[in-house]
Structure formats: C-alpha cells, structure tokens
Amino acid sequence: MAEHPLQFLEIPRRDPEKEAAETRIRHFGEIYGSYDGADAASQAGRCLSCGNPYCEWKCPVHNYIPNWLALIEEGKLFEAADLSHQTNSLPEICGRVCPQDRLCEGDCTINEMGAVSIGNVERYITDEAVAQGWRPDMSGVVDTGKRVAIVGAGPAGLAAADVLARNGVRSVVYDAYPEIGGLLTFGIPPFKLEKRVVRQRRALLEGMGIEFVLNTRIGEDKPFDELLDEFDAVFLGMGTYSCVHGGFQGEELDGVYDALPYLISNIYREEGIEDPAVPHIDLAGRNVVVLGGGDTGMDCNRTAIRQGAQSVSCAYRRDEENMPGSRREVANSKEEGVKFLFNRQPLEIVGGDRVTGVKVIETRLGEAGSDGRRRPETVPGTEEILPADAVLIAFGFRPSPAPWFEDHGIDILPSGRVRVSSLGEHPFQTTNPKVFAGGDMVRGSDLVVTAVFEGREAAMGIASYLGV
C-alpha cells in the first residue's frame, strides 16, 4: 500500500480542533502541490527537538525554530504563524531568500543526513496561514498617540514599522520607489522572490495601521525638516545603493553595466513598470561575463540566463570555497548553465566603443587579511582575455549618505555608514537624538534577515526613547 504523505498526522481519537488544523495542512498541499505540502509537514516531523537549538542561535533574528516546527507537526498553523512573527517581521520573505545553508540549516543537528528544510517551513507557515485568513493579532495593542516617520520601505524599515505598530506607535513609511520592499522588490529577481509576496506583506502591514507614502524622495519631494516637525521620532532605513567599482580601465565602455541598474531594469520590465529613467537592459544573445562572487553576482548570472544570453561566465578572484555567495545560489547558477572561472582577477575591460572582453589574471590564495579571509595574489604571466559583448559588475554596494545628514547632525563614519549608539540608552540612535537608523546603511551591505533584525532592534530603541 502506498505510504500516505501525511500519515504522521493520523490521530487515535477524534479531536475537532486538531482535525480542523490538519485540514489546513492538507489544504496547503492542494495549493502548492504534493511536494511542498508533504514536505512542510514531513520536514517539521524530522526535527529532533535536540535541546541544543544551534539553528536558533545561527538565525540572525533567533527564530523559535523547534517550537514552530512542533506546532506545525501538531497541525497548529495559526499558532505557528503567531510565534513565527514574534521574532521575524518578514518570515515568508526570509524563508525564501536567506542563505539557509550558511545560517539555520547549516547548524541543524541532523545536517549530515540532510538538514530540516527550515526556510521552506518558515515560508509555508505565513503563506498558508494568510491564505486561510490569519492576520497579525493587534487586539491587545493600545495606541500610544506617538508617531514615527520611517525613511525607506526596505527590510529594516518594514521591520521597524511592524515592531512599532505592535507597541502602539503609528508609523508613516516613505520610499522613493513606486512599491514597498526596497531591494526585495527592486533588486532580488522575481524567480527568487515573487513580487506578489511583497505586495501581500504590504497588505498585512497596512492592515496593522502602517501608512506608506511612495514615489517620495525625502530631501527632494519632502524636506527632512518636515519629518522632524511632524513626528515624534524618525527611523532611517535607506540601505546601500551605490555600486562598488573595480577601479580598472574600461568600466565606462558601452556594454558594461552595474549589477543594480541591470537587475532593476529587468524587474521593471517583468512587472510592467514604465519609467524613462530606467532603460531596459536586454542581454539576449550576448556573451556575458559577470564579475563578482556574491549573491548579487548570482542574481545577475541567473537573470542573464533567463533573458536568453548566448553564454554567461562568472569570474571570481578567490576559489569556490571562499565565495561569499550562498552555496545554493552557486549551485543553481551552475545548474542553469553558468560557467564559473575561479581564481581570476579582472585587470581591465577591453574594447573600442563597445566592450569586447575582460582581461583577467590567475590568482592563488595568500595570507589572511585583517578580515580573516585569505587574500588573492596574482600569478605573473597568466593573463588572458575572456571574450564578452556584455559585462556585469557585481562587486557589492556601499552607502550613499544623503546631503541632508550633515545639516541635521547625523554623523557618518569614514566608510559612509551612519554612526549609531549600540550600547547606549536607546540602541540605534544616531548623533541626532530624534533620529534612529539601522540595516545596511549602518552595518554595510548584508543579508535581508540582518536588516530585519536591526530594524526590529531600532524600533525597540525608538520605543524606549519615546517612553512607551
């Protein structure tokens, strides 16, 4: 007899409450197909509740992972959604985009047998709970009458708004883009994060009383002074949007693109957004070289493949072991046909009016630098030219401090990151006491989940500053 995929849910006696919960699990299987439905249920059952929840410690927001896995195993979907939201403001998004192999799943006790697929279960919990009518429970929240302006609707800003709302503080979130999400919407490709998921999160947050004011650039469309006048505090979660360049010859040639404008233009096209300031970059039929080994490089690889590039090669100056990108994304890129060239450092982008190739030199790893990572050293006499008619530069991002920071006493560090108090009375307070900041603009370009964590922590700093 064929094994029933949900057999672990079978119960000895009738229990109407539990049966209703089981129906929710089965319903998930119908929506997402038998693989995902069965997987979510069976994965939850694989957790050993080992008593050493390394997964929780490795998770940047310290999710109560074994606890919500146990709730799913018991069929308590809505309770799992409530618990999941106690520590994470965007669980369905982190479940999709976190590099779990480096975080929670990488430290799962049964990793050698194949870790519990924590990310998949996490996204399932919110996806399915919302589909069945679950909404954040705001019934016990008392309005404090305090209001906070949030600049930037990326992960840090959304997380701050979520925690403030749960503490009775209303917030208005401003963003320059036409939709919320920041890089979640206008950076991460749709094949990794479906944009309907971000829109769904927007609806949930609006349901909690959070207001979004989009297509509005603070400092241009609305002066920062007005925020200081109209609100009790301000949170800055403006991310890092300036692309890092290699500083070598040929980066200005026709056919050479920064990663972010390329990814944004592709998302605009896929989402049907028209903006003359965002021209579409189409790499169909091109021989593409991607420079950089982080997750943005992997996003470029996989987007170029989907656009129909003739070939996509990805050059990285260290070896595969030392790539900063998620292992899963590297594997996905390989599976989709990307050729990796490890230990290759770009020296120059060559061409006349247009790019024709990238001159690279082989490297070997030398001594570790101050960051603990072994430094690549070039091997003389190993230069070669990789033919290319399009090059994507994905060396990462750095902060772009707004000109009005200085006018309002918001100090930045030499790196361009905003200076905040980490141990002071009000965590994440900037040098302007009424202004807080968090996420990439404070810690430098990092993961979605670390921005969520900092947005949440900053919201607690704001709550303490407001005395609520």
* Phi, psi of 368, rounded to the nearest 5 degrees: -70, 145
Q: How far is the CB of 125 from ligand SF4 (least distance, A)?
A: 10
Asked if residue 193 binds ligand SF4 (CB under 6 A), the reply is no
Among 37, 95, 181, 250, binds ligand SF4 (CB under 6 A): 95
Asked if residue 59 binds ligand SF4 (CB under 6 A), the reply is yes
Question: Minimal CA–CA distance to 219: which of 7, 353, 355, 407?
Answer: 407
Q: How far is the CB of 100 from ligand SF4 (least distance, A)?
A: 5
Contacts with ligand SF4 by CB under 6 A: the residue count is 15
Write the DSSP symbol of residue 318. S
Yes or no: say if 143 and 86 are a contact pair by the CB < 8 Å rule. no
Residue closer to ligand SF4, measured from CB, 103 or 298? 103
Among 9, 41, 103, 193, binds ligand SF4 (CB under 6 A): 103
Between CA 99 and CA 106 the distance in angstroms is 9
Residue closer to ligand SF4, measured from CB, 122 or 162? 122
Between CA 121 and CA 83 the distance in angstroms is 13
Asked if residue 204 binds ligand SF4 (CB under 6 A), the reply is no
Asked if residue 165 binds ligand SF4 (CB under 6 A), the reply is no
Binding segment for ligand SF4 (CB under 6 A), chosen from 20-28, 115-123, 159-167, 275-283, is: 115-123
Asked if residue 169 binds ligand SF4 (CB under 6 A), the reply is no
Block residue for tokens 């693109």: 257
Binding segment for ligand SF4 (CB under 6 A), chosen from 100-108, 172-180, 290-298, 346-354, is: 100-108
Q: What is the DSSP string of 160-197?
A: HHHHHHHTT-EEEEE-SSSSS-THHHHTS-TTTS-HHH
Yes or no: say if 8 and 46 are a contact pair by the CB < 8 Å rule. no
Between CA 399 and CA 423 the distance in angstroms is 23
Structure tokens of 191? 């094949």
Q: How far is the CB of 297 from ligand SF4 (least distance, A)?
A: 21
Asked if residue 349 binds ligand SF4 (CB under 6 A), the reply is no
Q: How far is the CB of 247 from ligand SF4 (least distance, A)?
A: 34
Q: What is the largest CA-CA distance in the chain?
A: 77
Block residue for tokens 């704001």: 462
Among 65, 173, 290, 312, binds ligand SF4 (CB under 6 A): 65
Asked if residue 104 binds ligand SF4 (CB under 6 A), the reply is yes
Between CA 271 and CA 194 the distance in angstroms is 11
Class of residue 17 by CB neighbours under 10 A (exposed 0-12, middle 13-18, buried 19+): exposed
Q: In 30-169, at which residue ranges do the beta strands (DSSP E only) sit?
A: 147-151
Structure tokens of 374? 């072994």
The amino acid at 382: T
SS3 159: helix
Report the site for ligand SF4 in 411-450 (rule: CB under 6 A). Answer: 449
Residue closer to ligand SF4, measured from CB, 95 or 255? 95
Asked if residue 69 binds ligand SF4 (CB under 6 A), the reply is no
Asked if residue 94 binds ligand SF4 (CB under 6 A), the reply is yes
Strand pairing report for 339-341 and 344-351: unpaired
Report the site for ligand SF4 in 118-137 (rule: CB under 6 A). Answer: 118-119, 122
Among 43, 100, 307, 429, binds ligand SF4 (CB under 6 A): 100
Asked if residue 455 binds ligand SF4 (CB under 6 A), the reply is no
Binding segment for ligand SF4 (CB under 6 A), chosen from 56-64, 152-160, 238-246, 403-411, is: 56-64
Residue closer to ligand SF4, measured from CB, 94 or 163? 94
Chain residues that interact with ligand SF4, rule: CB under 6 A: 59, 61, 63, 65, 88, 94-95, 98, 100, 103-104, 118-119, 122, 449
